[in-house]
Structure formats: structure tokens, C-alpha cells
Chains A and B, each alone.
Chain A
Amino acid sequence: MNEMLHHKLPVKSANVVKLEFFSRSENVSLARLVASAMAAERQISIAELDELKVAVSEAVSNAIIHGYQGKEDCLITMTLKLTTQRLSISVHDDGVGIADIEQAMKANFSSSGERMGLGFAFMRSFMDGVEVTSLPGAGTTVVLHKDFL
């Protein structure tokens, strides 16, 4: 059955991986690992792979810290879609959401405490595209795009 299905698929069809995990900090490295393993199937330099890992790390960390306010038993959904030319990684949480996306995306060096507010700045500078969809109370979806030459 599986073989038959496989034969019907076009050769260059996209590969999709969907992952659901708890909003625990130890799952940030798992998310990085899955994303970099998928990206490594295409032509990508070590430096670009490092940047992709940082972007994924920031997106998942944001979902844990901001989306779920540090609660550890909430679900984060990561969906990865790999085509010949692009890897798109969607990180979704059902947390508190963002009221002002533009404001949230600004680097905030003066923020008090330990966090530097660099998450979105890194995502933007290290990826070829970043989309954020969010509404207060309705969760947040961040989609990161990496294009392959």
C-alpha cells in the first residue's frame, strides 16, 4: 500500500514534518535539531545552518516565554515544509498572543532583566522571510523561510 502511494507522488513533491511538543525549555534544542536535519537535505553552508538554528531557537523560546508565559505543559506545534527551493518552518502556540506585532519585533536593548529582546531581530536577519500572525488571546504563529539557491 505504501509503495503504491509512493509511486503516485510526483518526484519533486514537498516533504512535510509536523511535530507537537510541550512548552519546556529542553524542547528548544529538539526543535533546532529537527529543523537543521531537514535543512541539511539541501545545499546549505554551516554558517547558514547555524543561523537557521538560532532563528528556530528564538521562535520556540518566544512561544514558551511570551506565548505560554513559562507554563511547561502547553503544546507547541512546529510544521516544517521542504521543497527543492525552500524550507518553511511554522512555530505555533495557543498562548496569550501579541497585541502590537511591530512593537514586539523591535530589538529592545533597554528591556530590564536578563532578556535582550533580540529574538525577532535574529529571526529577521538570519532568515529569508519571517511572517508573524497573532491576536491577543488567540495564540501566535511565526513562519520562518529559508531559500536555497
Chain B
Amino acid sequence: MDFQTESKKYQGRDWLVVAVSGELDLSAADQFKDKLKAALAKSRTRYLMLDFSRVSFIDSSGLGVLMGRYRELALTGGRIIIRHANDQVYRLLTASGLDRLIEVELPIGGHFAKEEK
């Protein structure tokens, strides 16, 4: 699993942007969780943008990590946005109901791209 971070100004706030790659299953879940927690602690922001353009697969182990971060960030009014999810990832985010808690950009012509200009 590759994990890269950067900071970005978006909608007047500081966001932690994380680009992750690979398959977010049981074998990656712990590492993904630890790296996300560490990066969030270091960045001191409540706003997390996940770039999933290189995530090829997710199952309930990966979704659990996202749910955990949502629970933590929601306590202090934070937000999570997921961008560039492939069809498989997008379908699981909606099937699990996580798309009602986390903002998931639509796979085609996402609305966040427009706002950002």
C-alpha cells in the first residue's frame, strides 16, 4: 500500500489530502488506519480528502477504517470527502450506507471538481 499526503486549501479550510493505492482489505486495513491516524494528528485538521484513484478494491475491512475515521472526525465537526473512487469502491460505499456520512464524489463528472475552480 502506497500512502502520500499533502495539504490543500479548499472551501476556505485546510484539508489533509491523502492519496492511497492498492487493495483496501484485511491485509492493508491496520496499516491504512495507523497511517491515516498519524497523518491526521500531524496535520491538525478535521478535514480529510481521500484520493482513491489508485485504489483497486475495497471490502468491509477497508470500509471499517473509513467508518472509524468518520466517527473520530465527526465528534469535532470534521468532514471526509472521497474522490475518484472506481466502480467497485463506489458501489460498496453506497451499499454500506457510508456515502450518507462521508461525501463521495460521483465517479463521472463529480460535483466537487466544479466547486474547486
Q: Using a CB–CB distance below 8 Å, which chain A residues touch chain B?
A: 25-26, 28-29, 32, 46-47, 50, 53-54, 57-58, 61, 64-65, 109, 113-119, 122, 125
Contact = CB atoms under 8 A, between A and B. Distances in A.
Interface string B37-63: 000000000000000000001011101
Given A50-B87, A54-B92, A115 B60 contact: yes
B25 A57 contact: yes
A61 B25 contact: yes
B68 A29 contact: no
Interface of B: 23, 25-27, 29, 33, 57, 59-61, 63-65, 67-68, 87-88, 91-92, 95-97
B1 to A, nearest CB: 12
B65 A122 contact: no
A10 B103 CA distance: 53
A116 B64 contact: yes
A125 B95 CA distance: 9
B88 A50 contact: yes
Given A61-B59, A64-B26, A118 B96 contact: yes
Contacts of B95: 122, 125
B33 A25 contact: no
B26 to A, nearest CB: 4
A114 B68 contact: yes
Contacts of A118: 60, 63, 96
Given A47-B91, A58-B59, A115 B25 contact: no
A42 B43 CA distance: 49
A61 B62 CA distance: 12
A61 B33 contact: no
Contacts of B65: 114
Given A29-B25, A47-B91, A115 B59 contact: no
Most buried by B among A25, A32, A119, A125: A25
29 contacts: A25-B25, A25-B26, A28-B25, A28-B26, A29-B27, A46-B87, A50-B88, A50-B91, A53-B88, A54-B59, A57-B25, A57-B26, A57-B57, A58-B59, A61-B25, A61-B26, A61-B60, A113-B68, A114-B29, A114-B67, A115-B61, A116-B63, A116-B67, A116-B96, A117-B60, A118-B60, A118-B96, A122-B60, A122-B92
Nearest to B88: A50
Contacts of B26: 25, 28, 57, 61, 64-65
A58 B87 CA distance: 19
